[in-house]
Amino acid sequence: MSRQRIQAILDGEDPVFGRSVAFFLQGLILVSVVTIALETMPAFGPAWHGIFLVEEWVIVGVFSAEYLLRLYAAPRRLGYVFSFFGIIDLISILPTLLLLGYDVRSIRALRVLRVLRLLKLARYVRALERLGRAVRTVGDELVVFAAVAIIVLYLCATGIYFFEHDAQPEAFGSIPDAMWWAVVTLTTVGYGDVYPITAGGRLFTGLMLMLALGVIAVPTGLVSSALSSGDPLRSKEDEE
């Protein structure tokens, strides 16, 4: 079997086996992440640990075979290894393989890494491919607005510190402490645990919120524009 055929099968594009293999791999991904949630439930006690461990090794075995086959079939193997999906594929199996003989479920950090297997599903979602192309199209502009957002965040934290420090020293003890308030305020999360009480602080907060809305809206508009105008293949499909 040629390398091109293997890659087509793994990507779900082969007319004979592609769809079946894709559904099988997607099913394993979903089973894996659901199991991670079940492991945290008291109802699934020690009696289930052995079952979950065997399941983990079966899934890792399949994902390891997938990784090796993708590495073999890749036109540029180093390109695959350092690509987004190559890294995700490796993270999906590496923690379990490194801790051979240990119960990986008992280590919380590794449990988090196992959740990243969910990102493997992005390989089979065409809409995410279009989103990725749109983001790359406006990548330079997004970098600029990310820098602007960081500057606005720092200015917001600095300003609220000088307005509120004397009135609320426990909440705004330093500029780094004020960063938390700036993040939840500029992202409009607004937990409500810390808020300005001085007139100057409230006025400053209102101005920063209006500025933050612009910082958030512009990148959203850029990506939306790229999605609507930068996908000729989708436009051709819609016309047909």
C-alpha 85/C-alpha 137 separation (Å) is 20
Are 216 and 170 members of one domain? yes
Q: Are 52 and 114 in contact (CB under 8 A)?
A: no
Are 119 and 166 members of one domain? no
The pLDDT tens digits for 56-115 are 889 999 999 999 999 999 989 999 999 989 999 998 888 778 776 565 555 666 667 788
- Domain-embedded: residue 93: yes
Are 104 and 48 members of one domain? yes
Q: For residue 53, what are the CA distances in angstroms to 73, 106, 117, 209?
A: 30, 11, 17, 49
pLDDT at 227 over 60: yes
What percentage of residues in the chain have a pLDDT greater than 70? Answer: 87
- Domain-embedded: residue 166: yes
In one-letter notation, the amino acid at residue 102 is Y
Q: How many domains does the chain have?
A: 2
Are 115 and 142 members of one domain? no
CATH of the domain at 224: 1.10.287.70
Instruction: Among 124, 146, 178, give the residue marking a domain's end.
Output: 124
Closest CA to 152 of 126, 197, 187, 105: 187
In one-letter notation, the amino acid at residue 125 is V
pTM of the model: 0.61
Are 62 and 109 members of one domain? yes
- Domain-embedded: residue 83: yes
Residue numbers of the domain that contains 225: 137-229
In one-letter notation, the amino acid at residue 32 is S
Closest CA to 111 of 125, 127, 95: 95
C-alpha 174/C-alpha 161 separation (Å) is 7
- Domain-embedded: residue 202: yes
How buried is 150 (Cβ within 10 angstroms: 0-12 exposed, 13-18 middle, 19+ buried)?
exposed
Are 9 and 119 members of one domain? yes
Long-range CB contacts for residues 210-216, cutoff 8 Å, separation at least 24: 211/152, 212/152, 212/156, 212/185, 212/186, 212/187, 212/188, 215/145, 215/148, 215/149, 215/152, 215/186, 216/149, 216/187
Are 111 and 12 members of one domain? yes
Give the H or E element holding residue 138. Answer: none
pLDDT value, residue 106: 54
> Band of the pLDDT at 239, cuts 50, 70, 90?
very low
How buried is 140 (Cβ within 10 angstroms: 0-12 exposed, 13-18 middle, 19+ buried)?
exposed
Angle, vertex CA 234, rays to CA 229 and CA 238, nearest 5 = 105
Question: Which residue is listed with tokens 């000729």?
Answer: 232
pLDDT value, residue 235: 45
Are 105 and 163 members of one domain? no
Are 75 and 162 members of one domain? no
Q: Find all residues with CB under 8 Å of 69, minimum gap 6, and list them.
A: 6, 10
pLDDT value, residue 216: 74
How buried is 26 (Cβ within 10 angstroms: 0-12 exposed, 13-18 middle, 19+ buried)?
middle
- Domain-embedded: residue 238: no
pLDDT at 13 over 50: yes
Are 64 and 150 members of one domain? no
C-alpha 230/C-alpha 227 separation (Å) is 6
Are 76 and 145 members of one domain? no
Are 70 and 151 members of one domain? no
CATH of the domain at 22: 1.20.120.350
Q: What are the structure tokens assigned to 209, written together?
A: 């919120």
